[in-house]
């Protein structure tokens, strides 16, 4: 299995480490030709406008959208989740719009701009998952095709899946818990 990690900007190195720990081949993606032959792609956290601009400048945007529409599974974390969602906030460059989720950027007020909390994610089993939120976005609304995977105690949606696309408002790559990366690999392998 060969997984690409978009390596334009942000927390890509940590995703690469996690995937190595899980024993898969990893390709850091900065150029369109590096998308060839991938079985899945991770779009990391960072700054969504910078990532979007670099994707556009390096001719990655259309190629990623095209591969996704032809079945390439994608995991987006934090800024990567914003890139997967609809253009709820008139961002430029526009996000990919692959998932029917309305996303609000920098959604948590000052005190909680960055925080950690245990998340209940039923698809992973009973053990809570450590949620690391860093100037995180939230999912304001989803449509019927989207499966909600996790909410905060106040009901805010922070993880969702639509077919082969997985969106997380937080940073599983900054924890020791490999279960969400493994869950994504299971989607890639058709086991989930």
Binding to ligand GLN in span 35-54, by CB under 6 A? 45-48
Minimum distance from CB of 181 to ligand GLN (Å)? 17
Beta bridge mates, 115:
133
Residue 82 touching ligand GLN (CB under 6 A): yes
Site string for ligand GLN, 93-112 (x = CB under 6 A): ------------xx------
Determine whether 80 is exposed, middle or buried from the number of CB atoms within 10 Å of its CB (0-12, 13-18, 19+).
Answer: buried
Q: Does 181 qualify as catalytic in the annotation? A: no
Residue 79 touching ligand GLN (CB under 6 A): yes
DSSP, res 135: S
Minimum distance from CB of 190 to ligand GLN (Å)? 29
The DSSP code sequence of 56-105 is: HHTT-HHHHHHHHHTT--EEEETHHHHHHS--TT--SSPP---S-EEEET
Residue 86 touching ligand GLN (CB under 6 A): no
Q: Does 20 qualify as catalytic in the annotation? A: no
Residues with a catalytic annotation lie at 78, 171, 173
């Amino acid at each position: 299995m060969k997984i690409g990690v978009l390596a334009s900007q942000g927390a890509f190195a940590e995703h690469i480490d996690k995937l190595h720990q899980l024993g898969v081949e990893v390709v850091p993606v900065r150029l369109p030709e590096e998308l060839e032959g991938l079985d899945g792609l991770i779009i990391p956290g960072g700054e969504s406008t910078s990532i979007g601009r670099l994707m556009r400048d390096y001719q990655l945007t259309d190629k990623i959208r095209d591969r996704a529409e032809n079945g390439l599974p994608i995991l987006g974390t934090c800024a990567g989740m914003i890139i997967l969602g609809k253009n709820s906030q008139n961002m430029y460059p526009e996000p990919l719009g692959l998932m029917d989720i309305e996303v609000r950027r920098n959604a948590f007020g000052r005190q909680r701009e960055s925080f950690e909390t245990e998340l209940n994610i039923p698809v992973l089993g009973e053990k809570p998952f450590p949620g690391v939120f860093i100037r995180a976005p939230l999912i304001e609304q989803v449509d019927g095709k989207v499966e909600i995977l996790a909410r905060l105690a106040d009901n805010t949606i922070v993880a969702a899946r639509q077919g082969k696309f997985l969106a997380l408002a937080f940073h599983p790559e900054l924890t020791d818990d490999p279960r969400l990366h493994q869950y994504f690999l299971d989607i890639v392998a058709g086991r989930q």
